């Protein structure tokens, strides 16, 4: 009888400690990432040079490996010659909101993640003086992403990854609508703080 009580109490203590350890994992986080972007389409037949971007997102983990995220991003590409003139800049700016699955890789301080998101973005085209010549207005697009979460300790992580953004918007160009299929890959390195 005594052995059963000791085994039962030990088992209950282990379950309690396991539950406390799981609850101590942080559910919220903020990630800031930046890096290069490469166009995979020619919006309005414009040849895009390699671009650059930044994105800031808030995370909330509602299940052990699954969470949601939302934030804001900006990407800029230059074009030497386009329908908008010489040396025009194409900027995509807006909001991202999606679902994330993140899973540890064995016992390493490393996880992989995959993300699927909606975008609510717009495209601005600026001339070489920096004046906005065309603005598409906001509209829906989508994003797929994947990468690694490298645990640095004290609730900090490094988050290298790759993202694919797709946005189609119309721009009124001299009385005619110009279809802008803005698709690109982004190679990002981010820093994540969990709290």
Q: What is the pLDDT along the chain (195 residues), one digit of tens a residue?
A: 565 555 554 554 444 444 444 456 799 999 999 999 999 988 877 889 999 999 999 999 999 999 999 999 999 999 987 777 788 899 999 999 999 999 999 999 999 999 999 999 999 999 888 888 888 999 999 999 999 999 999 999 999 999 999 999 988 877 777 788 899 999 999 999 999
Q: Please work out, in degrees rounded to the nearest 5, the angle formed at the alpha carbon of residue 77 by the alpha carbons of 52 and 130.
A: 110
Q: Which letter does DSSP use for residue 50 in this model? A: P
Q: Which pLDDT score, from 0 to 100, does residue 19 have?
A: 42
Q: Which pLDDT score, from 0 to 100, does residue 24 have?
A: 65
Q: Which pLDDT score, from 0 to 100, does residue 73 have?
A: 97
Q: Which domains does the chain have, with CATH numbers?
A: 26-194 (2.40.160.20)
Q: Which pLDDT score, from 0 to 100, does residue 131 have?
A: 87
Q: Which pLDDT score, from 0 to 100, does residue 6 have?
A: 58
Q: Which pLDDT score, from 0 to 100, does residue 155 have?
A: 96
Q: Which pLDDT score, from 0 to 100, does residue 194 have?
A: 96
b/e per residue 16-32 (b: at least 16 CB within 10 A): eeeeeeeeeeeeebebe
Q: Which letter does DSSP use for residue 109 in this model? A: S
């Amino acid at each position: 009888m005594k052995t059963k009580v000791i085994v039962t109490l030990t088992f209950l203590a282990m379950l309690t400690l396991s539950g406390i350890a799981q609850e101590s994992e942080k559910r919220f986080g903020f990630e800031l990432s930046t890096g290069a972007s490469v166009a995979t389409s020619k919006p309005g037949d414009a040849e895009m040079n390699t671009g650059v971007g930044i994105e800031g997102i808030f995370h909330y983990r509602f299940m052990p490996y699954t969470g949601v995220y939302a934030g804001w991003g900006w990407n800029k590409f230059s074009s030497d010659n386009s329908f908008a003139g010489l040396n025009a800049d194409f900027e995509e700016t807006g909001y991202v909101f999606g679902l994330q699955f993140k899973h540890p890789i064995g016992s390493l301080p490393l996880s992989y993640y995959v993300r699927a998101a909606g975008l609510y973005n717009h495209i601005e085209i600026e001339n070489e003086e920096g004046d906005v010549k065309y603005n598409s207005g906001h509209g829906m697009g989508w994003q797929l992403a994947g990468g690694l979460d490298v645990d640095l300790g004290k609730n900090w992580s490094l988050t290298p990854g790759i993202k694919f953004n797709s946005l189609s918007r119309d721009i009124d160009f001299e009385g005619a609508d110009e279809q802008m299929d803005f698709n690109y890959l982004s190679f990002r390195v981010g820093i994540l703080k969990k709290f």
